[in-house]
Amino acid sequence: MSAPTPQAEQAEQARQTEAAGGTEPPRLARTPDAAAAPVRIVHLGLGNFFRAHQAWYTMRAGDGWGIAAFTGRRPDVARTLAPQDGLYTLVERGPDGDDVGVVTSLSAVHAAGDQAAWLGYLRDPAVAVVTSTVTEAGYLRGHDGGLDAAHPDVAADVATLRRDPVAPVTTVPAKIVAGLLARQGADAGPITVLPCDNLPGNGAVVGRVVRDLAALVDPDLLPWIAENVDFASSMVDRITPDVAPGTAEIVERELGVVDASPVVTEPFSQWVVAGSFPAGRPRWEDAGVELVDDVEPYERRKLLLLNGAHSLMAYAGPILGHETVDAAFADERVRAWVEQLWDDAETDLDERVRARTPAYRQALRERFGNVRMSDVLGRIAADGSQKLPVRHVPVLLARRSAGEVSAGAVVGVAAWIAHLRGAGVPVRDVAADLWRERAAGEDEGAVARILASLAPELAEDAGLPEVHRAVLAQLRAFEQPEV
């Protein structure tokens, strides 16, 4: 007989508590025969998505790789999960019901500021992989894609590490560099850095900012990095909304335990990974992960079709009075814009994925139409300045070079301009002031400034700015009156 799962044990405890006349269900906690696995992966960015995706895949790989996860900035999630021994519940929310289970792969949880623990893991030869989910903005890239060395937080971290390589730092590139310095010093061998954010070529992106920061701190680290660090890339997919109120009650009802921090996600999931993993990795393929030589075709399809449609809906949907993805997608006007965007984008997809695009689009229709997900558009709208360049701009540029206009991407950009001007959900963006300034004033100047800042060639011919202005005017007519 197989060992009881943590859920079964917890449910049994709950039954015993009730039988004994108690009323309080037990808190989620490890039982003696469900001990934490040894830490071999370190994760940065203990957010909902990581918990719905990489941690879940690693548990399902089933070969005993434990994860030590650090919060990105605030300590809250680590403080909440520590008393539960890193356990939490994942609610997989299908259109017809929930599947509720406990994720067991987090062996340790730490607050972002626990630099001593971070360095300790990186010095351990058993630790083979560093993963991250810290948002697009967390990698602190400048205009040319390299490190934004002038950013005050980056400059402060560089000064700190030059003074003392084990002192606490706050930015992601500096944490990775500090960790690699520690690993080099401990002679702990090679390692893989595997980013899991929605960024094209995310491995190369992180490799570049890490090398840039290393060059400023200690150029002697660069040859060691070249020899020992595998910057792997991945395409990650699983829509993971903010956790809706009432989720803990569902967990308590289903499993008979108290979970202070459950996560909700969709049944669909995909992870496509390319890397050499010189120090090893879990048998993720046993959990359904696709190991490939080149992630780019998958990444491009996902960013342009899924994330592109998401951004379009996040800015246009609230102007039409919608709060969630499913509500926006049920609106025929939005649906037509999204389908148009997909038509525009799919002509330029790599042939390795193009044949499967009809099925991919149908799956997206079903995923976006899942009314039980309640994926709030405000979550997706954040940091448009980081997202539009990789979601809509490639479509505009590709259609432009074919002598055409992407009507779908135009709606996305025009709706973003309207959003920057105050329509729809409030602006939350790392570069809010700069882009709000560009979007201000008369339509003509605003559209020209935004397009030129996104990609200079987009503002060059009259046609594209003109069509953006027309859509902007159309969206203005839809704006909901204040109540």
Ligand X SMILES: NC(=O)c1ccc[n+]([C@@H]2O[C@H](COP(=O)([O-])OP(=O)(O)OC[C@H]3O[C@@H](n4cnc5c(N)ncnc54)[C@H](O)[C@@H]3O)[C@@H](O)[C@H]2O)c1
Q: Which residue's CB is nearer to ligand X, number 353 or number 405?
A: 353
Total interface residues for ligand X by CB under 6 A: 22
Token pair recorded at residue 17:
């508590």
Q: Which residue's CB is nearer to ligand 44H, number 58 or number 198?
A: 198
Position of tokens 């559209």? 447
Closest to 254 (Cα-Cα) out of 93, 21, 77: 93
What whole-number distance in Å separates Cα of residue 449 and Cα of residue 462? 13
> What type of residue sits at position 94?
G
Give the x/- contact pattern for ligand X in 2-41, rule: CB under 6 A: ----------------------------------------
Buried b (16+ CB within 10 A) or exposed e, 190-200: bbbbbbbbbbb
239 binds ligand 44H (CB under 6 A): yes
261 binds ligand X (CB under 6 A): no
Q: Which helix (H) or strand (E) holds 377?
A: helix 377-381
Among 89, 234, 240, 406, binds ligand X (CB under 6 A): 240
CA atoms within a 13 Å half-sphere pointing along the CA-CB vector of 290: 15
**Do 412 and 311 form a contact (C-beta atoms < 8 A)?**
yes
Q: Checking DSSP bridges between strand 233-237 and strand 270-274, what pairing results, if any? A: antiparallel
Candidates 3-11, 81-89, 99-107, 233-241; binding stretch for ligand X (CB under 6 A): 233-241
134 binds ligand X (CB under 6 A): yes
Q: Which residue's CB is nearer to ligand 44H, number 57 or number 121?
A: 57
Closest to 129 (Cα-Cα) out of 199, 192, 223, 217: 192
Closest CB 99 distance from ligand X, rounded Å: 18
Footprint of ligand X on residues 46-65 (CB under 6 A)?
46-50
Give the x/- contact pattern for ligand X in 162-181, rule: CB under 6 A: ----------x---------
Token pair recorded at residue 167:
């002192």
What whole-number distance in Å separates Cα of residue 132 and Cα of residue 73? 13
310 binds ligand 44H (CB under 6 A): yes
Q: What, of ligand X, ligand 44H, none, does residue 262 touch, CB below 5 to 8 Å by kind?
A: none
Q: Which residue's CB is nearer to ligand X, number 130 or number 475?
A: 130
200 binds ligand X (CB under 6 A): no
Q: Checking DSSP bridges between strand 98-103 and strand 270-274, what pairing results, if any? A: unpaired
The DSSP-derived string for 307-373 is IHHHHHHHHHHHHTT--BHHHHHHSHHHHHHHHHHHHHHHTTS-HHHHTTHHHHHHHHHHHHT-TTS
> What type of residue sits at position 293?
D
Closest CB 205 distance from ligand 44H, rounded Å: 13
Among 48, 71, 307, 324, binds ligand 44H (CB under 6 A): 307
Among 198, 261, 265, 370, binds ligand 44H (CB under 6 A): 198
Sequence-separated (6 or more) residues with CB below 8 Å from residue 322: 313, 328, 331, 334, 377
> What type of residue sits at position 209?
V
243 binds ligand X (CB under 6 A): no
Among 115, 131, 133, 184, binds ligand X (CB under 6 A): 133
Q: Which residue's CB is nearer to ligand 44H, number 225 or number 420?
A: 420
Closest CB 314 distance from ligand 44H, rounded Å: 8
**Do 89 and 259 form a contact (C-beta atoms < 8 A)?**
yes
237 binds ligand 44H (CB under 6 A): yes
Footprint of ligand 44H on residues 378-417 (CB under 6 A)?
380
Q: Which residue's CB is nearer to ligand X, number 10 or number 135?
A: 135
What whole-number distance in Å separates Cα of residue 426 and Cα of residue 416? 11
Q: Which residue's CB is nearer to ligand 44H, number 202 or number 247?
A: 202
Return the HEC string of 243-302: CCCCHHHHHHHHHCCECCCCEEECCCCEEEEECCCCCCCCCHHHHCCEECCCCHHHHHHH
Total interface residues for ligand 44H by CB under 6 A: 9
Footprint of ligand 44H on residues 103-142 (CB under 6 A)?
136
90 binds ligand 44H (CB under 6 A): no
269 binds ligand 44H (CB under 6 A): no
Binding site for ligand X (CB under 6 A): 45-50, 71-73, 133-138, 172, 197-198, 236, 238-240
Binding site for ligand 44H (CB under 6 A): 136, 198, 237-239, 306-307, 310, 380
